[in-house]
């Protein structure tokens, strides 16, 4: 499913030609992937997801900011998010109950753990366990959580920080999202 949002981001930024370039790059890497043929509800190997991200970065020479933008863009066009919209009744319920479900719907590996939600002090902490695929994806997730929180909380200014990272001697990935 996330492959679809990757494709939509490339289409937005670079158009169809850009998407073809990415597909060509992936083919060179021995991964013949046609984004248009990807089915929203199908599961694909997790390696394919990170290769798509790397391929896009490689082809367009995207910096970390752009990767963050890709993550930020994904919830906006994600069909899965649309499916979960119905659960966006209360922030608490969505955070503690539905978010882990959303993760499981996205991924067959890893786990999302809601750690803390403080509406008064305007922050939340979320942990990703057993999902150590690439440091680039940490940046992507940072963007993703920012937008997701924005959609959940209804706030304009959101800041997300990975306060613990597996690739930086952490046990897992832990993100703190603050808003105003």
Q: If you search the block for the tokens 């969505």, which residue do you land on? A: 94
- Sign of the Cα torsion 87, 88, 92, 94 reads positive
Binding flag, residue 104, another protein (CB under 8 A): no
Q: Which is nearer to another protein, 53 or 81 (CB)?
A: 81
Closest to another protein by CB, 120 vs 154, is 154
Place of tokens 């680039």: 136
Measure the N-to-C terminal CA separation of the chain; round to a whole number of Å: 30
CB 116 within 8 A of CB 176: no
Q: Which stretch binds another protein (CB under 8 A): 26-34, 44-52, 108-116, 152-160?
A: 152-160
Q: Which of residues 32-91 bind another protein (CB under 8 A)?
A: 39-42, 73, 75-77, 79, 81-82, 85-89
β-partners of residue 127 are 113, 174
The site for another protein (CB under 8 A) is made up of: 8, 12, 39-42, 73, 75-77, 79, 81-82, 85-89, 147, 150-154, 156
């Amino acid at each position: 499913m996330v492959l679809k949002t990757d494709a939509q981001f490339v289409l937005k930024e670079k158009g169809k030609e850009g998407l073809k370039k990415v597909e060509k790059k992936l083919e060179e890497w021995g991964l013949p992937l046609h984004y248009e043929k990807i089915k929203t509800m199908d599961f694909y190997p997790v390696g394919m997801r990170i290769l798509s991200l790397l391929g896009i970065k490689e082809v367009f020479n995207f910096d970390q900011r752009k990767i963050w933008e890709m993550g930020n863009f994904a919830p906006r066009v994600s069909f899965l998010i649309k499916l979960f919209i119905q659960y966006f009744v209360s922030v608490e319920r969505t955070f503690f109950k539905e978010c882990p479900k959303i993760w499981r719907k996205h991924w067959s590996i890893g786990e999302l753990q809601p750690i803390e939600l403080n509406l008064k002090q305007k922050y939340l902490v979320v942990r990703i366990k057993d999902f150590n695929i690439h440091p680039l994806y940490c940046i992507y997730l940072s963007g993703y959580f920012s937008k997701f929180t924005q959609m959940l909380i209804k706030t304009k200014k959101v800041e997300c920080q990975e306060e613990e990272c597996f690739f930086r001697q952490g046990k897992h990935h832990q993100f703190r999202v603050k808003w105003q």
